[in-house]
Amino acid sequence: MRTPGRPDVGYGQPVSHESHVQKKAQAIVPETTGFTLWHTPLESQRGAITPNGLHFGVHHNGIPDIDPAKHELVIHGLVERPLTFSVEKLLRYPMVSRILFLECSGNTAANALSPFARDESCQDLYGQVSGSEWVGVPLRLLLEEAGLGASAKWAIAEGADGGSHARSIPVSKLLDDGMLAFYQNGERLRGAQGYPMRLLLPGWEGNANVKWLHRLELTDTPAYTKDESGLYTEFLANGDIARFSFLMDVKSVITHPSGRQMLHEKGFYEIAGLAWSGHGKVSQVEVSADEGRTWALAELQGPVLDKALTRFSIPWRWDGKPTVLLSRATDERGVRQPTRTQWKERYASHSFNHYNAVQPWRIGSDGGVENTYA
C-alpha cells in the first residue's frame, strides 16, 4: 500500500505468478510440417469457459495469417445463386450466441492406444477439449440466400490454410445449428481458432469445425477428402469402418485431483471435473472414491447447457489410504460412458478416435495421483 501500482495496458495478460499456466505442444510427427497439437491445461481451470489464450489447438498446416480485408467466403455448387461474401458484409448479418464444447476426436488417444496407462497429466491426456461462447451467423441464413438446389445434400467446407483442410458436411446439420463463428468469448477469433471466421458445428468432432473457412461447395455426395478419409475414419473391432462419425459421445474427467498431482495430506478435498456430450445435455455424473465399488451423484453446476462443458463436484475426505477415483457421465439420451474394456471391444486395437471411456485416477499412499486403467 506504500507504493503506487503499475499502469494498466491496452490488452491484459494473466499475472506473472500464473505464467506457468500454458498451452502445451504435444510431440508431433516430424515429417508433417506444420502439424501441431496444443493442449489446454484443464487442471488449472475452474468453470466451463476456456480462456481464449488457452484454448486447445489442432493445426494441420500451421496458422495462416489472413488479412480480413482480402478474405472471402464463396458459396457455390448446387445453389441457385453462387454468392461471394466479404468479412465486412458478413458482420452485418444477424448473429446468435452459443456456449459449446469443442473436442478433437483424437482427444485421449493415448489411453485408447497405449497398452499400459501412461503416467501423464490431465492436460496431456485430455487437453483437446475446450469450452467457449461462440457468436456468429447461422449458416441457414446464407444457404437460404444462395438457394439450395434440390439435390444439394452435402457441403464441402474448405479452409484457407496451407493444406486446404476440407470436410464434407451434411446440409441438414448446417441448416439445423451450423454457425459461421466470428467471436469467441467476447472478442474476435484468435488466429489459432480460425480468424477471421470458422465453421462451428455444435457437438460434432473438432475436425469438422473448419477454421479459416473460405469455401462451401454444395454437392449431392461427399468429396471423401484426405481429411475425412484418412485420420478421421475409424476401424471397428468387427472389421467395419465408421465414416463420417461426426458426433462426440458422452464423456467426463475428474480434473481435481488428476494425473501427476499430489495430495499433500489426508482430509477434505473437493473432487471436481468436467462432463460433456455431443448428443445434448449431461443428465448426471456419478463419482466413485473406492475403485468403482460404490457410486454417488455429483452436483452439476448449472446452468447445464446443451452440448457444453458441464462442471461437476462432490465433497470427499481422503483417509490417506490408496484408492481409485472415477467419474461416469450419462447424457439426456440415458447413455452412459463405457469402461475402457467396453470401448476396446467396439474399436479395432489400433483405433484411437472418439475415446470416451471412464477415467480412473489412482491415489497412492504418498498422495500421488496417477493414470490407471484398472
Ligand X SMILES: Nc1nc2c(c(=O)[nH]1)N[C@H]1C(S)=C(S)[C@@H](COP(=O)(O)O)O[C@H]1N2
CA distances, 201 to each of 17, 94, 373 (Å) = 36, 18, 32
- Asked if 205 contacts 227 with a C-beta cutoff of 8 angstroms, the reply is no
Residue 207 or 359 with smaller CB distance to Mo ion: 207
Give, as one character, the DSSP assignment of residue 78: S
121's contact among ligand X, Mo ion, none, with CB below 5 to 8 A by partner kind, is: none
Q: Footprint of ligand X on residues 96-125 (CB under 6 A)?
A: 102, 104
**Residue 45 found at the interface with Mo ion (CB under 5 A):** no
CA distances, 144 to each of 80, 134, 174 (Å) = 10, 22, 11
**Residue 328 found at the interface with ligand X (CB under 6 A):** no
Which member of 39, 71, 98, 165 binds ligand X (CB under 6 A)?
165
Contact letters for ligand X, residues 42-61 (x by CB under 6 A): -------------xxxxxxx
Report the nearest approach of Mo ion to the CB of residue 58 (Å). 4
Residue 191 or 368 with smaller CB distance to Mo ion: 191
**Residue 192 found at the interface with Mo ion (CB under 5 A):** no
* Close Cβ partners of 369 (under 8 Å, ≥ 6 residues apart): 257, 258, 259, 260, 261, 262, 263, 361, 362, 363
Which member of 43, 120, 124, 161 binds ligand X (CB under 6 A)?
161
225's contact among ligand X, Mo ion, none, with CB below 5 to 8 A by partner kind, is: none
Q: Footprint of ligand X on residues 59-78 (CB under 6 A)?
A: 59-61
Which member of 206, 222, 273, 360 binds Mo ion (CB under 5 A)?
206
Separation between Cα atoms, residue 8 and residue 105, nearest integer Å: 40
Phi, psi of 360 (to 5 degrees): -90, 135
Which amino acid does the sequence have at 352? Answer: F
**Residue 206 found at the interface with ligand X (CB under 6 A):** yes
- Asked if 250 contacts 277 with a C-beta cutoff of 8 angstroms, the reply is yes
Residue ranges binding ligand X (CB under 6 A):
55-61, 102, 104, 159, 161, 165, 192-193, 206-207, 209-212
